[in-house]
Amino acid sequence: MNLDLVPLLFEDSRPGRRCVRHANADKTQASHGLPARELREAPPALPEMGELDLIRHFTRLSQKNFAISTQFYPLGSCTMKYNPVVHEKIAADAAWMGLHPMQPADELQGALGLMHQLQEDLGEATGLPGVTLHPAAGAHGELTGLMVLRAWLDEKGENHRRTILIPDSAHGTNPASCTLAGFHVSTVKSNDLGLTDMEDLKAHLNDSVAGFMVTNPNTLGLFEENIQEICDLVHQAGGKVYMDGANFNAIMGITRPGDFGIDMMHLNLHKSFSTPHGGGGPGSGPICVTQELAKYLPEAIVVKNGESYSWSRPSHCIGRLRAWNGNFGVLVRAYAYVKRLGAVGMKRVAENAVLNANYLRVRCNKHWRVPFDRTCMHEFVARPTKVMKDAGVHTMDIAKRLIEKGIHPPTVYFPLVVSEAIMVEPTETESKETLDAFAEAMTEIAKEACAGDPCLHAAPTNTPVGRVDEARAVKDPQLCFRCS
């Protein structure tokens, strides 16, 4: 058979039958239950082409996508790091793919064993032994943790404690999760060093406080140096400390949140533990809690009895927050990641993530303003200098110019405490050559920005879609192909 001649409409490809189901003939034959007025009068004008042209078309389209497998992706906070291909293969193994969550536990022993081991490993890595793999993402983990906190307060008869304190540098999901869980949010200021302002924290502590929700390292890429004192103060005031663990990749293997006083935290397995998530999913946000809080965790914890595994429901369980038991494929990748790296490898990941970020910080601070310019963790925040701003250059112009240079823009306009922020997270997997190329691109852009070069406002000019009106795109989204 000449494959070049295989028509596009495979199901109607027999001679003389092409498109027959779409034409009038359908009206007299089985019309799939559609009313006659909905049926076509004529075959649709579908393009017809050979397989080779088709393959080239889709391959060219796929190459227009920005991907970590082709270009540098230094997306601060959202961490688009390289995820080993072998983990994809392991997760796609037919032995996992063929399972159904409603199978009886004795048919799922391998899967349950993997989940149990992962629970143990995450508990060990965080120093918080109560672990559930149930939540679907980081924000869902936050909600789960806050519901655990509510259950703990309610059992103690302290349901007047309904305020959660959050630093002003926090990710937007933190206050959103508090509100969803029925708490009020009160904001604690950051100090001149970019850390929680201790005096402001103390001023906020009273008997309406349920807890403090802190990201560590925080969203400025800085380790909260007073974290132990913060935890002590909150505990003395009768609250608990929730840690947003989205940045755990900067500290894993080096320090454990449970050891510095954290009561509960989530991990974004899709950020720190090797699942690609650039497009928003799939995700997994296990939470890890102290022994005291473990009895409130949502159901479906895996337990080991002798040599076999089964599901268990904690005694004061808050219930179920989603169907089934998490994104199992993400759990397989996380398990593979932990087992392949081991404790030593995980520590090296964190060290290299921190080293790479500091290397870029020092190279960038020569031309850009780095507001908290001291040793950072896995990411740092920069912004345009006064000269650049006076020349009319905004962070969005820099982001668009980077696209033109083949680099995915870092996160922009976040965290909110830094105006015109550009947040760079190189991750641990990038080579020095790639980091140097980024630093050089930033240097060239800085020179253009100081000169107010109009090319910055026009960028990107070499992409299929050029500069879009971002505000209009949000207010008036055109979500269909070739909308009029």
Ligand X SMILES: Cc1ncc(COP(=O)(O)O)c(C=O)c1O
Interaction between residue 219 and ligand X (CB under 6 A): yes
Residues in CB range of 93: below 8 A, 6 or more apart: none
Choose the binding region for ligand X from 88-96, 107-115, 135-143, 462-470 (rule: CB under 6 A): 135-143
Alpha-carbon distances, residue 459 vs 186, 228, 393, 449, 455 (angstroms): 40, 46, 12, 12, 6
Identify which of residues 257 and 283 has a Cβ nearer to ligand X in the complex.
Answer: 283
Residue closer to ligand X (CB basis): 246 or 424: 246
Given the rule CB under 6 A, which of 41-49, 134-142, 231-239, 475-483 is the region that contacts ligand X?
134-142
Q: Which is nearer to ligand X, 78 or 445 (CB)?
A: 78
Residues 244-283 that bind ligand X (CB under 6 A): 244, 246, 268, 283
| Residue 119 is a binding residue for ligand X (CB under 6 A) | no
216 binds ligand X (CB under 6 A): no
- Report if residue 367 touches ligand X, rule: CB under 6 A: no
φ/ψ (deg, to 5) at 4:
-60, -25
Terminal-residue alpha carbon distance, the chain: 41
Nearer to ligand X, 171 or 401 (CB): 171
Contact region with ligand X (CB under 6 A), list: 64-72, 80-88, 136-144, 373-381: 136-144
Give the burial string for 262-291 (b: 16+ CB within 10 Å, else e): bbbbbbbbbbbbbbbbbeeebbbbbbbbbe
Q: Tell me which residues in 139-168 interact with ligand X (CB under 6 A).
A: 139
Which residue's C-beta sits nearest to ligand X?
A: 138
- Please say whether the dihedral angle defined by the alpha carbons of residues 217, 219, 225 and 231, taken in this order, is positive or negative: negative
**Of the listed pieces 131-139, 191-199, 342-350, 459-467, which binds ligand X according to CB under 6 A?**
131-139
Which of 75/294 has CB closer to ligand X? 75
**Cα dist from 264 to 130, 217, 284, whole Å:** 9, 15, 16
Could you tell me which of 108, 123, 101 has the C-alpha nearest to residue 325?
Answer: 101
Is residue 215 within the footprint of ligand X (CB under 6 A)?
A: yes
Residue 188 Cβ vs ligand X, minimum distance, rounded to whole Å: 16
Q: How far is the CB of 440 from ligand X (least distance, A)?
A: 27
Q: Report the residue number, 217 or 261, with the smaller CB distance to ligand X.
A: 217
CA 474 vs CA 176, 466, 478: distances in Å: 20, 16, 9
Stretch (H or E) spanning 130: strand 130-132
d(CA 135, CA 339): 22
Secondary structure (3-state) at 15: coil
Residue 154 beta carbon to ligand X: minimum distance, rounded to whole angstroms: 25
Binding ligand X (rule: CB under 6 A), the pick from 77, 196, 274, 327 is 77
> Which CB sits closer to ligand X, 138 or 426?
138
Torsion of CA 84, 86, 88, 93, to 10 degrees: -160
Stretch that binds ligand X, among 137-145, 198-206, 288-296, 299-307 (CB under 6 A): 137-145
Burial (Cβ within 10 Å: 0-12, 13-18, ≥19) of residue 432? exposed
Residues forming a β-bridge with 244: 215, 266
Query: From the CB of 136, what's the least distance to ligand X, in Å?
Result: 8
For ligand X, the closer of residues 74 and 314 by Cβ is 74
Residue 112, token pair as written in the block: 């349950």
Max Cα–Cα distance, the chain, nearest Å: 82
Residue 412 is a binding residue for ligand X (CB under 6 A): no
- Among 123, 138, 167, 239, which residue interacts with ligand X (rule: CB under 6 A)? 138
x-or-dash string of contact with ligand X, 228-247, rule CB under 6 A: ----------------x-x-
Q: Kindly write out the interface string for residues 172-211 of this chain, putting x where it contacts ligand X by CB under 6 A and - elsewhere.
A: -x--------------------------------------
134 makes contact with ligand X (CB under 6 A): no
CB of 204 to ligand X, least distance (A): 21
- Across the strands, what pairs with 163? 184, 209
Residue 265 and residue 216: Cα distance in Å, rounded? 10
List of residues contacting ligand X (CB under 6 A): 77-78, 137-139, 171, 173, 215, 219, 244, 246, 268, 283, 285
